[in-house]
Structure 1
Amino acid sequence: MRRALNLLACLGLGIFGALRISQAQPIDPGQNGIFTVAETSVTISNASNGHSIATKIYFPASGNNIDPSGAPYPTLVFSHGFIPIGSPTDSYTGNVMHLASWGYIVALPSFGDALSGDNLTPRISDVRAVLVYLESANANSASPFYQRIDTTRFGIIGHSLGGMSSLDVAGQDPRVKAVVALDPAGASGMSFGSASVQATATYTDLTTITGATLIVGAASSLCNNNAEYNAMYTDVGAEHKAKPVVANGSHCDFLDPSDTTYRNLCYSFCGGGSFNADRLTLAKKLSVAWFNYYLKEQSSQFTYLYGTNINQDLQAGKLSNHTFQTMPRGFTASAGFNAVNLSWQLSSYAVIQGYNLYRSTTSGNYPAPPSTQVGRQANHADSGVAPGTRYFYILQSRDASGNEHQSSLEASAIPLNSADAIPCYLPYITK
């Protein structure tokens, strides 16, 4: 696939109206980060479908160059919503600048959406072409992005049709370690327009997603196919996934407020609503926190995703719902001699630094603290047990700060007494 994509980039490096941010990293990821942001334009050629993809790349800047202080940077691709007219990138400039200010290189391609036919399939191919370009730019000593991109930490983010394509790319491409879909739509067709403009796809790709997946939902509307993201979330196969729903949110709330023409058209087309800065800030906070946690392993971001801060957003009515799944997988217990042998599937997420094991002789009753703490490993022999007694266990993963994720399903076993072991005698054979 990669060899088939002949990517030609026409680089025109130029400083954006650079955004200077406070030198102290803000606590809340909904606020701007510490980096000045600059922008350059490239054209990427996707040989698999003949598309030329005009792309703006935003990056942390020092003068006219990429700021080396945080390099190599985790790198994101932002897939815009269905915009068949005008300049699609104008509707998301603020979103990508916000991400870049937090120490990300962010590519914002402009896809040529058509008023008829399938827009999703070529979009998926084009997003993957951008990923290949970013890899090649990082390896090219003549590129301004040479050795500035962390190609082991790619993320995808998108809105509407762009959100759906982001999920599909994540399901097809293991390079994607984290994905954010803002009110995604398009898998079974948007509920507006004729069948010819409805994107078609199956949820097959979603079941194969391994990267941590955040789906931010809004109220059901004409443009999100009646909250289609609920079905998407169910089918996402990632070990860690979350679905916060913005209270009173509209499908169009994720657009840049500076693009008033298209944003107002979107509200009119999708069934009403009006811009609310707090809702957009909330979406930015969730997006940055997600990437900070899963691409940068910043355990301080736990509160915005699973802890106190997001619970406060729920209590304050900023979110109407927050569903998530973070439990370890494949947890089993089996009897050993004077021990219980425990095993589980080791998480691929680097943010997980170890596991907490809870043991009890009563099902469902697990007082703190954990009976055992282990590192990044997939098994443990619990020898602090008495033979003949049934022991129950649950397992929780934890990050570097000790924040615990959801408990595994319960497992149990009765350890054997080594004194009861039947000796095995080998016959003595003489010639």
Structure 2
Amino acid sequence: MKLHAVVIKCGVICLLLCSTVSFVGGVPVSPDQPGPYHIGSYRVLFFVLPYGVYHAVIRYPATSDGIRTPVDSSAAPYPCIVVANGLLGSESQITWIPKHLTSYGYVTLCFTPPRRLSFDTMQWATGFLAGFKTLQRQNERRFSPIYQMLDPETCGAIGLSMGGGGCVEATGATDSVIDASVALAPAGFPSVLDAAQNIMVPIQLQVGTVDRLVPPTSVLNLYTGYLSNMTTKEYMEISGGNHVGFIDEYYAAIAQRWNIDNPPSISVEEQHNISRKYFTAWFQYHLRGLDEYYTYIFGEDAQQDLQSGILADLRYNIP
């Protein structure tokens, strides 16, 4: 009888431990915290006319961190997200975004366009759409690190500045495969505004209140004047955040010393934490259908951020 009782107790303990691990792995305390997955990575190139060669890094859930480490197939297939930086930027300056998303079980591709000094947002839009095709090809190649690990039917996009404008254009393109997108301080060129009117999938817009390069009024105009009320959309202003606060901390500090942007009243780390809480929850809710993330983008948690002043503005439309 004693042995039987011990076995039962051990079984109960194991079940509790398994449940705890599953809960922590599936839903961390807050989506601004790292997810449960290790990150593997490798570099790829893809060529698109008329622009040229795009350089990119693919990151995927792995059994350990590193270059071409074995994939973690425990929850495959994984949704995919394409990521892009802005004017003069490269993928190496915005790594915090794809790393964070990959830790949540997304295969990400972060690209650098051929012409970094360009005001043609279509170059970035083309990069997004070609990025998804590149991921699909990698998914079909037997010796690719992500062979048969991708869910090509579930796709997201996130971009900053010119990359944000390109993200909007790609999302509104007639041949778009994007199911949900996030634009960080997106450039508001006429082609971007035109494409925004075609968007019928969930899209979130983020901007800092002291952004000199893409002021909040520009992003709010995109939200109110061009995105349809027939689609799910969200607009949020990060109190004290600026434009360069959306890139990696090291490069943001350099840009700030050059007075490229208005000085922020919050740290880069704080801006990252706020931003990633919202874009991670956005993708978890809209790409994976995880209802527990509703609170972070539409519900009580989001309203608390607004009331406490973490956000200066928060508005959304759910048709």
The TM-score range, normalised by the shorter chain, is 0.7 to 0.9
Q: Runs of 5+ in structure 1 lacking a partner?
A: 1-21, 189-200, 328-431
Residue 56 of structure 2 is aligned to residue 55 of structure 1: yes
Distance in 2 between the 1:90 and 1:264 partners? 18
Give secondary structure in 2 for the equivalent of 1:59: strand
Residues 289-298 or 271-280, more deviating: 271-280
Report the counterpart of residue 14 of structure 2 in structure 1.
none
* 1:114-157 Cα deviation digits (max 9, x unpaired): 54x53312221122111111122222333222211111111000
Question: Post-superposition shift, 1:225?
Answer: 4.9
Runs of 4+ in 1 over 4 A off after TM superposition: none
The letter for the 2-side match of 1:242 is: E
Report the counterpart of residue 215 of structure 1 in structure 2.
205
Distance in 2 between the 1:226 and 1:298 partners? 30
State the number of aligned residues: 288
Is the Cα–Cα contact under 8 Å of residues 123 and 165 in structure 1 kept in the other structure? yes
Report the counterpart of residue 84 of structure 2 in structure 1.
79
Question: Post-superposition shift, 1:221?
Answer: 3.8
Is the Cα–Cα contact under 8 Å of residues 47 and 53 in structure 2 kept in the other structure? yes
Structure 2 length-normalised TM: 0.84
Report the counterpart of residue 104 of structure 1 in structure 2.
106
Which of structures 1 and 2 has the bigger CA Rg?
Answer: 1
Distance in 1 between the 2:51 and 2:185 partners? 29
Is the Cα–Cα contact under 8 Å of residues 86 and 164 in structure 2 kept in the other structure? yes
Distance in 1 between the 2:197 and 2:188 partners? 17
| Structure number having the greater helix percentage | 2
Q: Runs of 5+ in structure 2 lacking a partner?
A: 1-20
* 1:285-343 Cα deviation digits (max 9, x unpaired): 0010000000011000000011111111111110011110002xxxxxxxxxxxxxxxx
Residue 261 of structure 2 is aligned to residue 270 of structure 1: yes
Structure 2 vs 1, CA of residues 121 and 104 (structure 1 numbering), >3 Å: closer, same or farther? same
Report the counterpart of residue 230 of structure 1 in structure 2.
220
Distance in 2 between the 1:265 and 1:106 partners? 31
The letter for the 2-side match of 1:319 is: L
Match of 1:93 among 95, 102, 114: 95
Distance in 1 between the 2:99 and 2:192 partners? 32
Question: Post-superposition shift, 1:101?
Answer: 0.4
Distance in 1 between the 2:253 and 2:310 partners? 26
Higher relative contact order (CA 8 A, sep 6+): 2
Percent identity for Structure 1 against Structure 2: 24
Report the counterpart of residue 127 of structure 1 in structure 2.
128
Structure 2 vs 1, CA of residues 311 and 78 (structure 1 numbering), >3 Å: closer, same or farther? same
* 1:217-260 Cα deviation digits (max 9, x unpaired): 22254310563111211212362111111112211221111335
Is the Cα–Cα contact under 8 Å of residues 154 and 179 in structure 2 kept in the other structure? yes
Q: What pairs with 1:275-286 in structure 2 (closer than 5 Å)?
A: 275-286=267-278
Structure 2 vs 1, CA of residues 225 and 218 (structure 1 numbering), >3 Å: closer, same or farther? closer
Is the Cα–Cα contact under 8 Å of residues 220 and 227 in structure 1 kept in the other structure? no
Q: What pairs with 1:218-367 in structure 2 (closer than 5 Å)?
A: 218-219=208-209, 221-225=211-215, 227-234=217-224, 235-237=226-228, 239-260=231-252, 262-264=254-256, 268-273=259-264, 275-327=267-319
* 1:44-69 Cα deviation digits (max 9, x unpaired): 122x2251111011111014222101
Structure 1 length-normalised TM: 0.63
Is the Cα–Cα contact under 8 Å of residues 60 and 101 in structure 1 kept in the other structure? yes
Structure 2 vs 1, CA of residues 288 and 226 (structure 1 numbering), >3 Å: closer, same or farther? closer
Is the Cα–Cα contact under 8 Å of residues 84 and 111 in structure 2 kept in the other structure? yes
Report the counterpart of residue 141 of structure 1 in structure 2.
142
